[in-house]
Amino acid sequence: MRGKREWVDETINEDAGFRTFYEAVGGIRMVDSTQDLAVFQNPTFGKMMILDGAVQVTERDEFIYHEMMAHVALFAHGAVRRVLIVGGGDGGIAREVLRHRAVASITLVEIDGAVVDLCRAEFPAISAGAFDDPRLRVVIADGAAFVAGTEDRFDVIIVDSPDPVGPGAVLFQPPFYRACKAALAPGGLMVTQSGMPFLTPGWFASHAETLRTVFPAREFFLSTVPSYTGGPMAHGLLPAEPAAATPALETLATRYAAAGIATRYYTPEIHRAAFALPPYIGTLATGTA
Ligand code: SAM
């Protein structure tokens, strides 16, 4: 007999009312944070973290998002040494980037130290020791302010932002994108979390245009993350220079084999296929919908 069922209500957007419910087993714990942060256990997704009403990470499907946010850019680039992660306080992307032995340093800029503390304690498998790796430097600050003020240059910048609300909103604005472009080393690449085009087509089209004005050669790729409801998630791949950001399959396969990384979602074939956009997304991305 199930105990009293508690439900967590995630509302993605107000108008279409796309709402998803997660049964919280064993109660819902609110965490002291500058943001609305909660943790609970769900039979399907395992332990889950919700921030300002939106699912951020779940134990069971985090590998999909973290592998695609890290490996597409790193294998596309081919010689990454210095990485900046903006957001990413759960440590999942840092874990995946650190698996590339050639990476010399990662700077992770997270605005809320409570997220790092919570994830180290409650989701240790997600960071899997990343926070103790000497190559990782964690800075608790606003990512936009950090990028605007840094003199450092990065081969890859990964913007693991929440949705464009609250403190995350600034990470979707042109000044931040321009500062990121200036902080990319020659041949550098930036990656964004670009939301769910099906749920927010108008926002996605406007976001795509914002990115294109700063990164003319921007491309999008897709991933399917079960707990990010509403269809495929889009990710921006933004080269500092308008070079082809997506190498041939043979090149990706050679780099993947040399890296010796065992993945559960990313493969060179998935990498290439992820850039094949269905027309309903492609036309939004090019402003021809
Ligand atoms: N995968 C999730 C998604 O797609 O929504 C994102 C997860 S990650 C935990 C998002 C992180 O960005 C949160 O820890 C949040 O505290 C952080 N964050 C929000 N605004 C920020 C800012 N301006 N600078 C740095 N980190 C920020």
Q: Point out the ligand 1 atom lying closest to the alpha carbon of residue 35.
A: 16
Residue 153 near residue 190 (C-beta atoms within 8 A): no
Kindly tell me if the per-residue pLDDT of 147 is higher than 50.
yes
- Identify the residue with better confidence: 73 or 52: 73
CB-based contacts of 53, cutoff 8 Å, min separation 6? 9, 10, 11, 36
Ligand 1 pocket residue status of 86, Cβ below 6 Å:
yes
- The pLDDT tens digits for 21-64 are 677 777 788 887 778 888 988 888 999 998 888 888 999 999 99
Kindly tell me if the per-residue pLDDT of 267 is higher than 90.
yes
3-state helix, strand, coil in the chain (%, to 5): 35, 30, 35
Q: Whose CA is nearest to atom 16 of ligand 1?
A: 112
For residue 221 the two structure tokens come to: 């790729």
- Tell the burial category of 220 from Cβ atoms under 10 Å away from its Cβ (0-12, 13-18, 19+): buried
Ligand 1 pocket residue status of 112, Cβ below 6 Å:
yes
Other Cβ atoms closer than 10 A to 51: 24
Phi, psi of 208 (to 5 degrees): -60, -40
Lowest mean pLDDT among 141-145, 179-183, 223-227, 245-249: 245-249
Distances (CA, A) of 232 to 31, 158, 161: 29, 19, 17
- Identify the residue with better confidence: 245 or 241: 241
Strands of the sheet with 154-160, listed across from one edge: 136-140, 105-110, 82-87, 154-160, 184-193, 233-239, 219-223
| Cα–ligand 1 centroid distance for 173 (angstroms) | 15
Rounded Cα distance, 50 and 40, in Å? 8
Give the pTM.
0.94
**11 falls in which pLDDT band (50, 70, 90)?**
low
Kindly tell me if the per-residue pLDDT of 19 is higher than 70.
no
Instruction: Work out whether the CA dihedral 271, 265, 218, 228 comes out positive or negative.
Output: positive
Tokens 């957001």, residue located: 87
- Identify the residue with better confidence: 42 or 190: 190
Tokens 């009293």, residue located: 4
Residue 179 near residue 147 (C-beta atoms within 8 A): yes
| Cα–ligand 1 centroid distance for 167 (angstroms) | 8
Instruction: Work out whether the CA dihedral 179, 184, 186, 190 comes out positive or negative.
Output: negative
Percent of the chain scored above 70 by pLDDT? 94
Mean pLDDT of the chain: 92
Q: Is 142 a catalytic residue?
A: no
Kindly tell me if the per-residue pLDDT of 1 is higher than 60.
no
Rounded Cα distance, 101 and 79, in Å? 11
Distances (CA, A) of 187 to 134, 209, 242: 26, 22, 9
- The pLDDT tens digits for 166-188 are 899 999 999 999 999 999 999 99
Tokens 């050679």, residue located: 254
Name the nearest CA neighbour of 158 among 229, 90, 228.
90
Ligand 1 pocket residue status of 56, Cβ below 6 Å:
yes
| Cα–ligand 1 centroid distance for 56 (angstroms) | 8
Q: Whose CA is nearest to atom 5 of ligand 1?
A: 162
DSSP single-letter state for residue 108: E
Average pLDDT over residues 269-281: 98
Other Cβ atoms closer than 10 A to 264: 8
- The pLDDT tens digits for 196-225 are 999 899 999 999 999 999 999 999 999 999
For residue 134 the two structure tokens come to: 């000497």
| Cα–ligand 1 centroid distance for 88 (angstroms) | 6
Kindly tell me if the per-residue pLDDT of 244 is higher than 80.
no
Domains recognised in the chain with CATH numbers: 4-58 (2.30.140.10), 62-286 (3.40.50.150)
pLDDT for 284 equals 96
pLDDT for 9 equals 74
Lowest mean pLDDT among 90-104, 237-251, 253-267: 237-251
